[in-house]
């Protein structure tokens, strides 16, 4: 079986009902798969195309996007290599599914948010924006990417013990230093996608969509 091009990642693709829509790149958390965030994607934008790959790293059977040495301690070499692999897949998928490359928005939860954040720093021209649920800092000193014109919505839980509050704050600062337009929202809970924050993220995405020229 070929492992190049769009076949490089097991994935689901749901085409948009109308032309000119955003494409949401859905990146699941540890132990998830390509089906996990489809409902979240729909809740965020019912007109978007959904591109939902599965992480290729197995941690005792749990799918992930990159290896870690311990909880919250990342294998940086693997993270960088896997980020580049995912970037290649995205470029191939844009061509294969004839997507508008200027309207790609990553939506990641936890480990998926972490690779999305790394994608933004390493491949700053690939994404129009990102919605990051329960993200962490993955690179202490990320490349000084030019993220002007890129929108990032971060959602963090005050009681999140896996991704503590200061992680989201530091990550937001890293994005701001690169010129991104950043919105950081809090909920009182733990490591999860909070339904109220999901609604706020949908409203934020609506503004990003209007700003990227789609008729709404």
| Binding region for ligand MLT (CB under 6 A) | 29-30, 68, 71-72, 110-111, 114, 136, 162
Find how far residue 100's CA is from the centre of its chain: 17
C-beta closer to ligand MLT: residue 71 or 140: 71
- 186 DSSP β-pair partners: 156
Smallest gap from residue 137 Cβ to ligand MLT (A): 11
C-beta closer to ligand MLT: residue 23 or 111: 111
C-beta closer to ligand MLT: residue 42 or 192: 192
Positions marked catalytic: 110, 160, 191
Smallest gap from residue 107 Cβ to ligand MLT (A): 15
**Residue for token pair 């311990």:** 70
- Residue 110: CB partners within 8 Å, gap ≥ 6? 29, 30, 133, 134, 135, 162, 163, 191
Smallest gap from residue 41 Cβ to ligand MLT (A): 19
- φ/ψ region of 155 (left if φ > 0, alpha if ψ in -120 to 50, else beta) reads beta
Rounded Cα gap, residues 166 and 119, in angstroms: 21
Contact 78, 111 (CB under 8 A): no
C-beta closer to ligand MLT: residue 73 or 216: 73
- Residue 142: CB partners within 8 Å, gap ≥ 6? 118, 121, 174, 178
Smallest gap from residue 112 Cβ to ligand MLT (A): 8
């Amino acid at each position: 079986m070929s492992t190049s091009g769009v076949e490089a990642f097991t994935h689901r693709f749901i085409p948009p009902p109308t032309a000119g829509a955003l494409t949401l790149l859905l990146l699941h958390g540890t132990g998830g798969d390509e089906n996990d965030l489809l409902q979240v994607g729909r809740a965020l934008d019912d007109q978007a195309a959904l591109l939902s790959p599965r992480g290729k790293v197995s941690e005792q059977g749990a799918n992930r996007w990159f290896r870690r040495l311990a909880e919250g301690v990342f294998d940086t070499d693997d993270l960088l290599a896997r980020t580049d692999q995912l970037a290649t897949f995205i470029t191939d998928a844009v061509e294969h599914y004839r997507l508008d490359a200027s309207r790609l928005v990553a939506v990641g939860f936890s480990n998926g948010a972490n690779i999305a954040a790394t994608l933004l720093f390493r491949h700053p021209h690939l994404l129009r924006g990102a919605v990051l649920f329960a993200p962490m800092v993955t690179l202490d000193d990320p490349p000084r990417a030019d993220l002007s014109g890129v929108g990032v919505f971060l959602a963090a839980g005050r009681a999140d013990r896996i991704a503590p509050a200061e992680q989201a704050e530091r990550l937001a600062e890293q994005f701001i230093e690169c010129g991104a337009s950043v919105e950081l929202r809090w909920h009182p809970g733990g490591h999860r996608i909070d339904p109220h924050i999901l609604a706020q993220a949908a409203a934020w995405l609506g503004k990003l969509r209007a700003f990227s020229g789609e008729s709404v």
